[in-house]
A = this chain, B = another copy of it.
Amino acid sequence: MVGHVSSASVPPVEPSPWTPREAELLAVTLSLLQDHGYERLTLEAVATTAQASKATMYRRWPSKADLVLAAFIEGVRQSVVPPDTGTLRGDLLHLGGAIRDHCARHAGSMRAVLVEVSNNPALRDAMQHQFLDQRKALIQSILMRAVDRGEIHRAAVSDELWDVLPGYLIFRAVFANRQPTAETVTALVDDVIMPSLTRTIG
C-alpha cells in the first residue's frame, strides 16, 4: 500500500512552521534538554537562556511536553534532507548517516520524548502525524525511485517493515546504549537492508 507515494518524487523538506525567533527558542530547548534531561528542564530556564518572556513561551507552548515535542520535531526536520544520490545504496547510506548523526547528538532528548509520548495521547498523535508519517513518506520515496530505476521489485516496498533502518539505529543509540558508528550504518545497509530489498520475491 504505497499508492499514495507518487513515483520518483522526493518529498520536499517541509518549511518550518515557526518564526526564526521561535525556532531559536526550540533550539535552546533542545540544547538544555540534552544537557540537563527532561525532569530538570523548565520553560523558565529556556526563557532565561534565550532572553525571551515567559508569556511568549507559554503562549506558544502551554506545557513543557508541548515545548519538548516541538523542539524535537523541529530538530529532526532540520536534519532531514532527502537524499538523491542516484543509487538506492547511496541514498540509504546517506539517510542512515543522517539518522546516526541525529541520534549521537540527541539520544537524551529522544529518551525524554519517548517517555512523555508514552504518557500523553495528544503528544502521541502529534508525533505520529508530524514526525512518523513524514519519515515514512521520505523512505518510501527513496524506495520508489529505486523501483523506477529497476534496482528493486515493487513488492519489496513494505508497509510493515518500512522503518527497519531508522528503527535499528534508534534502538542502538537509545536502548542498547551502543551508539551506532559509521561501520554500523554501512553494515546495516550492505548486509541487512540491501539483501532484504533485493531478495528474490516469488
Contacts and interface: CB of A to CB of B under 8 A. Distances in A.
Main DSSP-derived SS at the A contact region: helix
A95 interface: no
Interface residues of A, number: 38
Interface in A157-175: 158, 160-161, 163-164, 167-168, 170-172, 174-175
A158 B118 CA distance: 33
A89 to B, nearest CB: 14
A188 interface: yes
Interface in A86-143: 107-108, 111, 114-115, 117-119, 124, 127-128, 132
Nearest to A38: B115
A177 interface: yes
A195 B158 CA distance: 15
Contacts of A167: 167-168, 171-172, 175-176
B175 A174 contact: yes
Contacts of A128: 177
Given A115-B111, A118-B111, A175-B174, A187 B161 contact: yes
Given A37-B119, A161-B191, 9 more contacts: A107-B118, A108-B118, A158-B191, A161-B184, A163-B172, A167-B172, A170-B171, A175-B175, A195-B196
21 contacts: A107-B118, A111-B115, A114-B114, A114-B174, A114-B175, A118-B177, A158-B187, A160-B187, A161-B192, A163-B171, A163-B176, A164-B168, A164-B188, A164-B192, A167-B172, A167-B175, A170-B175, A171-B171, A191-B196, A192-B193, A195-B199
